[in-house]
Amino acid sequence: MNQLTKAERKNDYLTGREIIRNQTKFQLKGLKTFMGMECPGVNVNLYLDGKKIGDAVDGGDGGCLWINYYGPQNLSQQDRDSWNDNVKKAIDTFLNSLSTYTNKEMGWDFKEDEVNKWGEEQFWNELIAMATAKRDYKKDMKKVQVIDEDNKLCHYKFGPRDLEKPYKNKNGKIVPLHKLLIEDHKCKTILNMLPESESFDIWFQTVYSKHA
């Protein structure tokens, strides 16, 4: 994930969000998005330490995220209740380890000094936002993605495998496509040729706002 600057690390909201997005204890699988009545909706399975613990649904009707925890079906109701309590305790323990933050640190201009704690719904929504971004990134990377000379993200119709194919440059010389893009098209960076973590950071910072 992208690293925060020194100034941003003084912002407890941005720091907490980075910790949430980088942790691996809680995970999402089976992400599905759709267009609801008022906004995009989502349906996703929730995991803790590699084990499914429930699911979450946002109907896209402007309401809240519905979070459902449920234990293994072979447990008695009493044991399932205990299992669910342990799941919630694990989430609470993690959230309580994060620093509180102010409205101002979130970018809000009212009651700027009001202090907030990270909540359960907010926590899962952060993970959903990151999972959605990674899904969109993988889709975009099926085409050649570059940072052009104006520091803008753009793509070419070619696929990543085409980057090594020979093409004639403006001087009539046969060169690999990646060299032609750098030399003739003045592209600064070809994301497809970077390590995935590095290319995702660049893509994410370009497509998504730091405060998104």
Whole-number pLDDT of residue 212: 52
Whole-number pLDDT of residue 1: 56
The residues spanned by each domain of the chain are: 1-136, 141-212
Whole-number pLDDT of residue 211: 43
| Secondary structure string (H, E, C) spanning 32-45 | EEEECCCCEEEEEE
Least confident among 106-120, 134-148, 156-170, 197-211: 197-211
Give dist(CA 167, CA 174) in Å, integer: 5
Whole-number pLDDT of residue 167: 95
pTM: 0.83
Whole-number pLDDT of residue 2: 57
Cα end-to-end span (Å), the chain: 14
Tens-digit pLDDT profile for residues 178-212? 999 999 999 999 999 999 999 999 999 888 754 45
DSSP codes, 76-134: -HHHHHHHHHHHHHHHHHHHHTSPPEEHHHHT--SSTT-EE---HHHHHHHHHHHHHHH
Tens-digit pLDDT profile for residues 2-25? 566 655 668 999 999 999 999 999
The amino acid sitting at 212 is: A
Mean pLDDT within 132-142:
95
Where do we find the tokens 């899904």?
A: 135
